[in-house]
Amino acid sequence: MSLFRKSKQGEMPVIPRDKEALETAWKIHAALVDWTGKVDAKASFAFALESAGLAMLVALSDKDRLFGTLEGPLQNLTYFGAIFSLVLAAASAMWVVMPRLRMRYLSKEWTNNFIYFGHLKYWDSSDLPKKIKEADMLPIITKQMVGMSKIAWNKHLLVKVSMILASTGGILLLVCGLLVRSGLTP
């Protein structure tokens, strides 16, 4: 990387502090990419477990199975509470891995951004090198970092919600099974 960049006044030295800030920003950006990938993997794992739980629930709900004949309001409440919790948990996990493309904003933002692939698709490959050379990268990368952080935060929050709901559904299903096995119908 050159220690000089072109400006309207001629050659201007890049202040080492700016270079360090930009390097730090790229490291933070890389960490955000890593965290986002990991939360997507956690959501996929959670979704697989929740789907298996729902499949087990369906299999055990046949007429001659454990949940085939529920008696009493507490058995019904725990059974349907488990279904509701597991469905919401799976939906939360699915929402985590749903791509965030921000399509309605891209056509307004692309001229000043080129880190996100949604912005890059608007650029002509012959114009992009010049823009990259002339751009003050720190504001561009920090804007991208803030946007990615919001997405990563929401994804992590949704995985947490998914896991809490799945655990609640599992506990309710266990309670329902115990109630059915014990024959309690309060």
| Residuewise pLDDT in 10s, the chain (186 residues) | 444 455 455 555 555 568 899 999 999 999 999 999 999 999 999 999 999 999 999 999 988 888 888 888 999 999 999 999 999 999 999 999 999 888 898 989 999 899 999 999 999 999 999 999 999 999 999 999 999 999 999 999 999 999 999 999 999 999 999 999 888 665
Give every CB contact of residue 109 below 8 A, 6+ residues apart in sequence: 119
In contact, 113 and 143? CB cutoff 8 Å? yes
Phi, psi of 4 (to 5 degrees): -125, 150
Q: Where are the alpha helices (DSSP H) in 72-136?
A: 73-97, 103-109, 117-120, 128-134
Contact 38, 32 (CB under 8 A): no
* CA–CA separation, 56 and 70 (whole Å): 16
